[in-house]
Amino acid sequence: MNSIMHERIANAAVALLPEKEQAIWSGVRKELLDASNYPDLFFGLVEADEVAEKRDPEWMKYVVISMPDGKKFNCHRLEGIPNAEERMFACWFQETLEAVRSGNFSCAAKFLGCISHVIADHGQPAHLLDEKIASDLFLQGPLCGIFHSMIESLSGEIPETDSRASLLAPSPEALLWVVSGKIRQLGKRERAEIPVLFHGLEAQDERICRESAGRTALHCAELTADVMHTLYSLAAGLRWTPAPFDLCSIVPDSVLCDPYLNRDIMIDRVPGRDIRHPLLPDPGDGRKHRAIAMLPNLEPFIHTTRETWAEYRIPSGMFSRFTALVGLCRGARNEEGLAFEVLLDGVPAYSSGKVGPDAPPVFVDLPLGNASTLRLRAVDLREDAYRTKFYSPIWCDPCLHWR
């Protein structure tokens, strides 16, 4: 992102907040927008700097993060530092909460500006593709050295939206985990803009590129607004009953899936007769669902287990149980039944038994205890599974319920 887009994202985030919060942050809008570029303005600095101090005498407070062992790092230099990003967000969240509680909204706005910047960087397509791959795609062509600098230089108007800020989590610790997952999902979502940008560049159509930049900025602003709204609500001591956490909204930490699904799970769709006609997830109840679709390995004549899974790291003790509705997707190719299993910390904790192509969906309700990993697995139970069979297992409305 360039400096203009970082400011637009922070500004757009304010517009998505409830009116009371809009009024508060509008009163310190300059501080918020200025700080949305602090990580770039003070890039790499960790010691006193005369030039930096002229911009903001307290710049170190916002961009230099201290570790428990006393070591310090710049928020834009995280390489080689264990858990640096988690530590950075934890620090910024805590500082924001304390500033809001003390009524120091100018200070809070600067921390929020830094948060907005890092969220936007995670959504920036220029940061989501290895430039060496871009060089291969444009190998010996008329475009050279274009990707990172060219994409970051794009400025687009953020489109209007009806979305409004949502509360993400009931505690700062929970917010840290949720934001980590949402940021990864943001990056995955914005990676889809890369072919759009390539097309715009090759067609010399600046409108395509600017519209793409605007879409990405909107998604970054939406997540920034959610963080701002949640932090303000926590600082104000508001209490609410959080909705169950939707596992479809984050990226799993590890996945095993057949290449037919590009070695990844699919969300809210199942492959249909061709790439332009995916199916909606339907486990047999005819209702609309959010769902995770996965596919066991289809390689012929294998003598290992045909399985597929997605594993999620979850905070130990933060959630009470996991629920989902499982089955084989109607209308998809299903030649054999599967068992749906859940593993907690690598230990089997649930099995549906074999669920056939025409079987009704099965409801899963599993206590989580203090598990720190959750693996959703579908496995072919046939003894002669070396012959390939097609199946389309789906986990509908997979949710973690807060304690």
Distance CA 122, CA 289 (A): 28
Structure tokens at 261: 């699904």
Q: Residues 19-37: pLDDT tens digits? A: 999 999 999 999 999 999 9
pLDDT value for 238:
94
Q: Residues 40-80: pLDDT tens digits? A: 999 999 999 999 999 999 999 999 999 888 889 999 988 88
Structure tokens at 84: 């640096």
pLDDT value for 358:
94
pLDDT value for 387:
84
3-state secondary structure of 267: strand
Q: What are phi and psi of 338, to 5 degrees?
A: -140, 165
Structure tokens at 7: 């400011």
User: 241 burial class (0-12, 13-18, 19+ CB within 10 angstroms)?
Assistant: exposed
Q: Residues 282-296: pLDDT tens digits? A: 999 999 999 999 999
Q: Residues 301-341: pLDDT tens digits? A: 888 889 999 999 999 999 999 999 999 999 998 999 999 99
Q: Is pLDDT of 136 > 80?
A: no
pLDDT value for 255:
97
**372-384 burial, b if ≥16 CB within 10 A, otherwise e?**
ebbbbbbbbeeee
**Domain layout of the chain by residue ranges:** 3-241, 246-402
pLDDT value for 139:
55
Lowest mean pLDDT among 104-113, 200-209, 232-241, 242-251: 200-209
Structure pTM? 0.93
**How far from chain centre, in Å, is Cα 399?**
16
Q: Residues 215-264: pLDDT tens digits? A: 999 999 999 999 999 999 999 999 999 999 999 999 999 999 999 888 99
Which residue type sits at 202? Answer: E
Distance CA 137, CA 139 (A): 6
Instruction: Name which of 234, 219, 231, 246 is nearest 163 in CA terms.
Output: 219
Alpha helices in 192-237 (DSSP H): 193-203, 206-235
Q: Is pLDDT of 363 > 60?
A: yes
Q: CATH class for domain 246-402?
A: mainly beta
pLDDT value for 103:
97
What integer is the mean pLDDT of 365-369? 98
pLDDT value for 262:
86
Q: Band of the pLDDT at 359, cuts 50, 70, 90?
A: very high
pLDDT value for 224:
98
pLDDT value for 96:
98
Q: Is pLDDT of 385 > 90?
A: no
Strand ranges inside 294-372, DSSP E: 307-313, 319-328, 338-344, 347-355, 362-367
Contact 374, 324 (CB under 8 A): no
Using CA atoms, how far residue 354 sits from 107, 360, 378, in Å, is 57, 12, 10
pLDDT value for 143:
61
Distance CA 343, CA 245 (A): 18
pLDDT value for 138:
64
The bridge status of strand 373-379 relative to strand 307-313 is: antiparallel
Q: Is pLDDT of 126 > 70?
A: yes
pLDDT value for 180:
96
Lowest mean pLDDT among 107-111, 141-145, 278-282, 317-321: 141-145
DSSP category for residue 304:
S
The bridge status of strand 393-402 relative to strand 291-293 is: antiparallel
The more confidently predicted of residues 139 and 259 is 259
Q: In the chain, pLDDT over 70 holds for what percent of residues?
A: 97
The more confidently predicted of residues 202 and 131 is 202
The CATH number of 3-241 is 1.10.575
**How far from chain centre, in Å, is Cα 290?**
16
What integer is the mean pLDDT of 80-94? 93
Q: Band of the pLDDT at 146, cuts 50, 70, 90?
A: low
